[in-house]
């Protein structure tokens, strides 16, 4: 699943470490999320969207044809 | 397991290892028990050191807690178990056949039993988890 985490994070001037700390995950997890290597759970997706004060749909771009990890 | 419990557990491992080591030395016993005693002491000491570090070093504590709770880490851990058990079944299956061809009946049975046991455990786990979720 594609997402706009990196774009939004950079736009707001938040460092990966800072963002990871706020989400309670490692910096590597943020990096994996941003590159699309790892899809988050619904809880983490919700937490990320809430952190940016956005909806899940605004941060994560679901494509119908996508296969589950 | 919390850190205090883990440290008690580690200390117990060291004590058991030492008792084992001393007993085997005094009774002139099997070297396998000596090795086991030594290994228990080593594992206990490392865990105790890590437990103490967790207690004293706030940065290490935070990093350890994050790693333990990190969902990607948990995902990777469970995937690694899937890979490891799949590998075990495949290698075990091949070895069962190879040993059978080589006429090593006991080894073939051992490998076959190991694979069967793992498959049985998988099905039991599946049934339990199916009820749970």
Contacts of residue B125, Cβ cutoff 8 Å, sequence gap at least 6: none
ipTM comes to 0.85
Which CATH number does A2-57 carry? 1.10.260.40
pLDDT for position A67: 58
Output the pLDDT for position A68.
52
Q: Please give the backbone phi and psi of residue A60, each rounded to the nearest 5 degrees, phi first.
A: -110, 130
A38 contacts B75? CB cut-off 8 A: yes
Q: Which chain A residues are Cβ-neighbours of B75 within 8 angstroms? A: 38
Supply the pLDDT for residue B32: 82
- Are A41 and B73 an interchain contact pair (Cβ–Cβ within 8 Å)? no
CA distances, B110 to each of A67, B92, B101 (Å): 39, 9, 14
* Res B5: pLDDT: 87
Q: What is the distance in angstroms between the Cα of A13 and the nearest Cα belonging to chain B?
A: 23
Q: Tokens 């919390």 appear where?
A: B2
| Gap between the Cα atoms of B10 and B26, Å rounded | 24
Query: What confidence tens digit (pLDDT) does each residue in B96-131 have?
Result: 999 999 999 999 999 999 999 999 999 999 999 999
pLDDT in tens, B74-103: 999 999 999 999 999 999 999 999 999 999
Yes or no, beta carbons of A26 and B66 under 8 Å apart: yes
- Are B69 and A28 within 8 A, CB to CB? no
Q: How confident is the model over A11-33, as a mean pLDDT?
A: 95
User: Which of B68, B71, B73, B77 to mutate to test binding with chain A, by most A CBs within 10 Å of its CB?
Assistant: B71
In chain B, the residue whose alpha carbon lies closest to the alpha carbon of A41 is B71
Token output for B20: 């084992």
Asked if the Cβ–Cβ distance from B72 to A41 is below 8 Å, we say no
pLDDT (0 to 100) of residue B133: 93
What would the mean pLDDT of A48-62 be, rounded to a whole number?
A: 95
Of A27, A59, A28, nearest to A42 by C-alpha is: A59
pLDDT digits (tens, 9 = 90+) for B17-71: 999 888 888 887 777 888 888 999 999 999 999 999 999 999 899 888 888 889 9
What was the pLDDT predicted at B1?
63
């Amino acid at each position: 699943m594609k997402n706009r985490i990196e774009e939004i994070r950079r736009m707001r001037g938040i460092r990966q470490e800072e963002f990871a700390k706020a989400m309670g995950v490692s910096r590597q997890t943020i990096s994996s999320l941003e590159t699309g290597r790892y899809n988050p759970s619904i809880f983490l997706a919700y937490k990320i969207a809430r952190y940016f004060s956005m909806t899940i749909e605004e941060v994560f771009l679901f494509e119908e044809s996508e296969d589950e990890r | 397991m919390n850190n205090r419990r883990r440290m008690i557990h580690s200390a117990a491992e060291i004590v058991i290892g030492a008792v084992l080591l001393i007993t085997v030395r005094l009774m002139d016993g099997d070297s396998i028990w000596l090795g086991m005693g030594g290994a228990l002491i080593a594992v206990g000491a490392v865990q105790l050191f890590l437990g103490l570090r967790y207690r004293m070093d706030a940065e290490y504590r935070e990093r350890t807690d994050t790693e333990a709770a990190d969902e990607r880490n948990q995902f990777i851990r469970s995937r690694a178990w899937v890979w490891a058990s799949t590998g075990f079944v495949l290698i075990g299956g091949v070895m069962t056949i190879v040993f059978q061809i080589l006429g090593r009946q006991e080894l073939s049975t051992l490998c076959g039993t190991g694979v069967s046991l793992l498959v049985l455990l998988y099905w039991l786990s599946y049934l339990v988890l199916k009820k749970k979720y």
